[in-house]
Amino acid sequence: MEEDSPHSCLPLRDFYIPSYILVPESEREEVAEEPICPVIVFVNSRSGGQLGGDLIKTYRELLNKVQVFDLGEEAPDKVLYNLYANFEKLKSEGDRFANHIEKKLRLIVAGGDGTAGWLLGVVCDLKLVQPPPIATVPLGTGNNLPFSFGWGKKNPGTDHHSVKFFLNQVKEAKEMKIDSWHIVMRMKAPKEGTCDPIAPLELPHSLHAFQRVSSSDSLNMEGYHTFRGGFWNYFSMGMDAQVSYAFHSERKLHPEKFKNQIVNQTTYAKLGCTQGWFFASLVHPSSR
């Protein structure tokens, strides 16, 4: 057995969750001690250049592999919905260990501010009586949200020592609350045709809750498309938003160009000069 497996590395038993908690219908595992700080880890493998993939590998080596999720492959809303549904099932069967895990659970999200906002929105949508605290690993370009809560601004190390150090910080951390805002936007519906008034955009996951309200919603107005969403940290509709969206689109098309934090910040500066404050067109493309 490997030296750093969860069964041989005793300190990491503090964070360990057995598979049957996360994978319904799997064989139950006898655990000698209740973990002090059970965690679920979400990592955006596209953040931080190659760091996201390296972090996933390290966390899976130190914890149970099913505790660690790549956000490029599995969405957190589905993962957490299934987890809490399984919690209810196990508790109804008298499983005290599942009840302990639910009460002590903490989430870790590694990514940029948008990734952190995505997970915050998902937890908010679940409307849990006792939502789990969320620790943010600064793996983005700005890392403003992690910095505000004391997790630092610099991209972290991905080796075993660095990850163990961060896990211990999570165990010792005090819970703090964060404000959230909601926004409502309305656009006039086109008088002719069936297309939306603008071409559909692939929104960043941080705006996962930003969606059109139903026809029965009190916010709905005849002749308008009404959208509602939540956000944390900041929200923008100006030229800086144009630059941020350009960065998001460019990184998705060419992930190999975004290897580290310095390169990403330089790319932001270049986009700011070509699309943002200095050289933004004063004429809307549709009016040319």
Of 9-13, 70-74, 204-208, highest mean pLDDT: 70-74
Query: What is the C-alpha separation between 247 and 264, in angstroms, rounded?
Result: 9
Residue 49, pLDDT score: 65
In sequence order, what are the residues at sequence separation of 6 or more whose Cβ sits closer than 8 angstroms to the Cβ of residue 138?
146, 147, 151, 152, 153, 154, 155, 156
Tokens of residue 230, six digits: 């939540």
Q: Is the pLDDT of residue 164 over 70?
A: yes
**Tally of CA atoms within 13 A in the half-sphere of 91 that contains its CB:** 12
Percent of the chain with pLDDT over 90: 35
- Give residue 123's Cα distance to chain centre: 10
- d(Cα 178, Cα 232) in Å, to the nearest integer? 8
Pick the most confident of 2-16, 23-37, 258-272.
23-37
Q: What six digits make up the tokens of 224?
A: 């308008």
pLDDT tens per residue, range 129-159 = 889 999 999 887 777 788 788 888 888 889 9
Structure tokens at 139: 């793996």
Q: Write the pLDDT tens digit of every residue in 28-76.
A: 887 778 999 999 999 988 776 668 889 999 999 999 999 999 998 999 9
Residues near 152 by Cβ (< 8 Å), separated by ≥ 6?
138, 143, 146
How much is the mean pLDDT over the chain? Answer: 78
Neighbouring CB atoms inside 10 A of 267's CB total 19
Name residues whose C-beta falls within 8 Å of residue 229's C-beta, 6 or more positions apart in sequence. Answer: 182, 183, 207, 209, 210, 211
